[in-house]
Amino acid sequence: MLPRLLARCLCAAALLLLAQPARAQTVLNVYNWSDYIDPYAVARFQQETGIRVRYDVFDSLETLEGKLSAGRSGYDIIVPTSEPTFARLARAGALLPLDRGKIPNWNNQDPALLRRVESSDSGNRFGAIYLYGTIGLAIRPDRVRALAPDAPLDSLDLLMQPDNARRLSRCGIAIMDSAIDVLPSVLRWRGRDPNSTDPADLRAAEESLMAIRPHLRAIVASGNIMDALASGEYCVALTYSGDAIQAQARAREAGRGVDIGFIQPRQGAQLWFDMLAIPADAPNPDAAHAFINFLLRPEVMAGITNQVRYPNAVPAATPMVRESVRNDPNVYPTPEMLARTFAVGALAPAAERARSRSWNRVKAGR
Ligand code: N2P
């Protein structure tokens, strides 16, 4: 008798459970750069909060802008670079003002770095700093020395002087596919204003790129450069600083004798800041604030920098960053290196279009 009663009770309980609608799990939709987080941080956030993270990646600002320009991206967190994308989105009303009350870790950020990004976002209303870095050349020093012994190892001449590019084409040259993040460095190398909108300057940069175009093995998304670099496919690649250092680490792990270094060009490297921001139409802004607050924890940030080799803006994280990473000037630039960087601004739409047309001509080689 008793077992039957028990069975009936259990059955009723099960039915009741089935009848209850499953409690919808909160989902946080993140759109971040590729190879740009510590997977453990995401796992820990999910575990601590019960929020499920849906994670997509992009690898150029052009891709991010394309995705967002249509509106209703469905993302709760995006990671645009301070200039031009983040500034543009903030001005267009496409971002949610951050509620600092929901980000108690906000003050973990270095005030001096926050002041730097204020030129893109006065009052730091729309973004917390995620990571920052420069743009320069990843190189295989042994190959470069062998093929172009007289080429300078601290300069964009290595790539941009056609004679160097010609000699180095044998071991593979790549540049990342981004008008926004490549043309300013080329303008600077030509001694022009990296933010110039003068058609003559743009033409000069285009001509310089056309002159080395026949020697390039690839103009590809930044995300495709890292692994190819690590496996020795390129000996010169114009890319983001931490991507070069990550490739260096991967190459060392693989132990196949591929040695990779990074050059911050003496002509001045582009310095950029990537921001954690919430689209104005984010489905789940509360979860987004919780995620930003979580990422600003010193130990979480230290884990991210250890993994992706970009510096963060949380000084209390620095002692927890591995010494070899913390002391690498290509990860944390020295004050002298910082002094030789330049910042870009957002161009007016017509100038931006001209820049992207010029880039398309370079890609097509005509
Ligand atoms: C990560 C590249 C991110 C840096 N792979 C570009 N702002």
Note down pLDDT in tens along the chain; length 366 residues.
444 444 444 444 444 444 445 567 899 999 999 999 999 999 999 999 999 999 999 999 999 999 998 889 999 999 999 999 999 999 999 999 999 999 999 999 999 999 999 999 999 999 999 999 999 999 999 999 999 999 999 999 999 999 999 999 999 999 999 999 999 999 999 999 999 999 999 999 999 999 999 999 999 999 999 999 999 999 999 999 999 999 999 999 999 999 999 999 998 999 999 999 999 999 999 999 999 999 999 999 999 999 999 999 999 999 999 999 999 999 999 999 999 999 998 888 899 999 999 999 999 998
Distance CA 47, CA 49 (A): 6
> Is the N-terminal amide bond of 84 cis, ω within 30° of 0?
yes
Contact between 239 and 220 (Cβ < 8 Å): no
Q: Is 33 in the pocket of ligand 1 (CB under 6 A)?
A: yes
pLDDT, position 256:
92
**Domain annotation for the chain: domains and CATH numbers:** 27-131+272-331 (3.40.190.10), 134-271+346-364 (3.40.190.10)
**pLDDT number for residue 23:** 60
pLDDT at residue 347, rounded to an integer: 87
DSSP state of 304: H
- Report residue 67 as tokens: 């995705």
Query: What pLDDT shows up at residue 15?
Result: 44
**CA 223 / ligand 1 centre spacing (Å):** 8
Q: Is the minimum distance from the CB of 240 to ligand 1 under 6 angstroms?
A: yes
Distance of CA 41 to the CA centre of its chain: 17
Q: Measured in angstroms, how far is the CA atom of residue 135 from the centroid of ligand 1?
A: 10
Q: How confident is the model at residue 121, as a pLDDT?
A: 96
Please state, in angstroms and rounded to a whole number, the distance separating the CA atoms of residues 362 and 206: 7
> CA–CA separation, 260 vs 232, rounded Å?
9
Q: Is 243 in the pocket of ligand 1 (CB under 6 A)?
A: yes
> How confident is the model at residue 346, as a pLDDT?
83
**Token pair 């979860």 in the structure block, residue:** 287
d(CA 179, CA 8): 69
Q: Tell me the C-alpha distance between 59 and 304, whole Å.
A: 18
Using a 6 Å cutoff on CB, does residue 272 contact ligand 1? Answer: yes
Distance 146 CA to ligand 1 centre (A): 30
**Residue 81: CB within 6 Å of ligand 1?**
yes
pLDDT given at position 22: 55
CA of 269 to the centre of ligand 1 (A): 15
**What is the Å distance from ligand 1's center to 274 Cα?**
8
Which protein residue's CA is at the shortest distance from atom 2 of ligand 1?
Answer: 33
Whole-structure pTM value: 0.92
Residue 312's pLDDT is 98
Amino acid 70: pLDDT: 83
Please give the number of the atom of ligand 1 that sits closest to the Cα of 274. Answer: 7
- 8-state DSSP, 37: S
Residue 218 · residue 138 · CB < 8 Å: no
Take residue 79 and report the two structure tokens written for it.
């990671």
Protein residue with least CA distance to atom 3, ligand 1: 33
Strands 27-33 and 77-78: parallel
Strands 269-276 and 341-342: parallel
What atom of ligand 1 comes closest to residue 36's alpha carbon?
Answer: 1
CA distance 161 to 168: 11
Q: Is 274 in the pocket of ligand 1 (CB under 6 A)?
A: yes
